A and B are shown apart, each in its own frame.
Chain A
Amino acid sequence: DVKVTQSSRYLVKRTGEKVFLECVQDMDHENMFWYRQDPGLGLRLIYFSYDVKMKEKGDIPEGYSVSREKKERFSLILESASTNQTSMYLCASSLWAAPGGYTIYFGEGSWLTVV
């Protein structure tokens, strides 16, 4: 089974704090993603990475950065947390599957509250 693990399920942080959300996948997937999920807005892509040290901005990268130093680990960083970053964050990784195309698998989610 594919396993995507997010280190923290629930976090409460103060405005201005630096926040790290960690994600690890155990299936040697090359591609990893960070999404944000808000009521009524669905899933929005923040960043994705297609290889170690490689990253691409998604739809809403402002206020976030990412780090991928090892293939299995993809970290989302909030440099200075703000209340409008209170949300559910989902990490994912994707696998090429025969006969073609990728399938994306998600972690359990991290609920972040910024006060």
Chain B
Amino acid sequence: AQKVTQAQTEISVVEKEDVTLDCVYETRDTTYYLFWYKQPPSGELVFLIRRNSFDEQNEISGRYSWNFQKSTSSFNFTITASQVVDSAVYFCALSEARTGNQFYFGTGTSLTVIP
């Protein structure tokens, strides 16, 4: 079973629109960690954020915000006022305290921001 599901394969938005990327995870651990990574066309996966399961506080960083909801096992990522430079593939990932160094990645959401 897929531990991390990113149901949106591709999304296109017009510049300055807001866009939300969905991530649903599955785990039986009470302690776990959630991540988002950005992969621009150059290929490198860039770390964006890490969230611990015991910290449900939402986070905002500039135009980026993350909504962590344990009740729905979701960790969604919103880009406000999107820009062309936001065009990339975004990956959500999970690791569990029990397995430590094992990471489960979603299949990614390809975001295209149209100028």
Contact = CB atoms under 8 A, between A and B. Distances in A.
Interface of A: 9, 31, 40-43, 45, 48, 50, 88, 90, 92, 94, 97, 99-109, 111
Interface of B: 31-33, 35, 37, 42-47, 50, 52, 91, 93, 95, 97, 100-101, 103, 105-108
B14 to A, nearest CB: 25
A100 B103 contact: no
B42 A108 contact: yes
12 contacts: A31-B101, A42-B91, A42-B105, A42-B107, A92-B45, A97-B50, A99-B52, A101-B33, A101-B100, A106-B37, A108-B42, A108-B43
Contacts of B32: 101
Contact of B47 (A9, A50, A105): A105
